[in-house]
Amino acid sequence: MSAKDKQSSDANSLIAERLNSPKNKSRHTEFEKMAAADDAKRSAVTKIFDPVALLKRASEIQEFTHPTLGIVRFGELTLNDSAALEKCPTPAAKTAMTLYLMLKKANQSLPEYTPDNILEFYNVFPLAEGAALLQFISEQPSFLPKKTLKNGLPSTLEPKT
């Protein structure tokens, strides 16, 4: 055996000895446990799309206790509701219709409104409660999102001069 082969063989033996040492096996086991814990953590936070749960949630009535309004009951908007919203002639009418549709799902005794007369719905609300209700509903995830500009920033209304 040449000196070079002997060096290589000695190096391989040393590597094998270190790999099989109790200290290295302990560290290997420790890293496997850490990897398993990390995998479990990642699995716990991974969101899985569940269409059955989504459809169930869309038909449920939500409740929230508001400090001014009391218990507010409302339903989430669905794609079917977008047809009525598209018929609204102005942004104010669209906002009023959104609010109305969400409340109507949980309060069937509300009068019927259409895109043509939905602004009448706003006219019957007392100012303080109407403002609180609009603010509360607009903070819900099911409320229509605000449009964003091409740069990704939310749009703002420009004051009329």
3-state SS class at 49: coil
Dihedral through CA 125, CA 126, CA 128, CA 133, nearest 10? -20
At 115-136, the pLDDT tens digits run: 999 999 888 888 888 888 888 8
Which pLDDT tens digit goes with each residue over 72-126? 999 989 989 989 999 999 998 998 999 999 999 999 999 999 999 999 988 888 8
Are the C-beta atoms of 94 and 81 separated by less than 8 Å? Answer: no
Euclidean distance between CA atoms 99 and 69, whole angstroms = 15
**Cβ neighbours of 120 (radius 10 Å):** 12
What phi, psi does 140 have (nearest 5°)? -80, 145
Model pTM score: 0.59
Q: Between 16 and 131, name the one with better pLDDT.
A: 131
Please, what's the b/e burial string for 140-158 (b: 16 or more CB within 10 A of its CB; e: otherwise)? Answer: eebbeeeeeeeeeeeeeee
pLDDT class of 157 with cuts at 50, 70, 90: very low
Q: How many CA atoms lie within 13 A of 37 on its CB side?
A: 6
